Amino acid sequence: MPNIYVALTHYPVVDKRGDIITSAITNLDLHDISRVVKTYGVNAFYVVTPLTDQQELIGKIISHWTNGYGAEYNPTRRNALEQIRVAETIADAGRDIAATEGVYPKLTVTSARHYPSSVGYEKYRSIIKTGNPHLLIFGTAWGLAESIINEANYILEPISGLTDYNHLSVRCAAGIILDRLMGTR
């Protein structure tokens, strides 16, 4: 099985004008992406934000579903949300993975934009079969800041549909990408 970790990044991301911002946590992203991560056997799901109040919100949501009434009411949701780790930066997530794996993960970014160095899914599937840890990074808002994209070891090609419209929710993109990379068909 590929040695994959996922990060949902809220900073640094860009707004529709291209300005670097910190985006807000959404309950739906936490629930839906954690379920996708659990389904495809991803090692852990990092939510990256430097904002203390957002980190506390994540903790409250996780606690409700892993320790509170929600854990009894919906044990399968508990199993998924137990995958979530909070990190202040992508580098912090990488260091946490390195503490477990003994090596810093290769960083792979996703984007709705095409880059000349973008890697296709078939090629990337063969890369992740090596067993080395990889951190697959998703951006919120209007996508990851160029500084993060420039630091990446790999850039996945964008998801393309049948129209020019290309603005999927990050939850949807995470499901499609993980299925393409780790699905059985």
- Summarize pLDDT for 135-152 with one digit per residue, the tens: 999 999 999 999 999 999
Q: What is the pLDDT of residue 1?
A: 79
Tell me the C-alpha distance between 99 and 122, whole Å.
Answer: 29
Q: What is the pLDDT of residue 119?
A: 98
Backbone angles phi, psi at 13, to 5 degrees: -125, 170
User: Can you give the pLDDT at residue 184?
Assistant: 87
- pLDDT the model gives residue 47: 98
Best CA proximity match to 93, nearest among 78, 109, 105: 105
The answer to whether the pTM exceeds 0.85 is yes
> Does the domain at residues 4-182 carry the CATH identifier 3.40.1280.10?
yes
pLDDT tens digits in sequence order for the chain, 185 residues long: 789 999 999 999 999 999 999 999 999 999 999 999 999 999 999 999 999 999 999 999 999 999 978 888 999 999 999 999 999 999 999 999 999 999 999 999 999 999 999 999 999 999 999 999 999 999 999 999 999 999 999 999 999 999 988 889 999 999 999 999 999 88
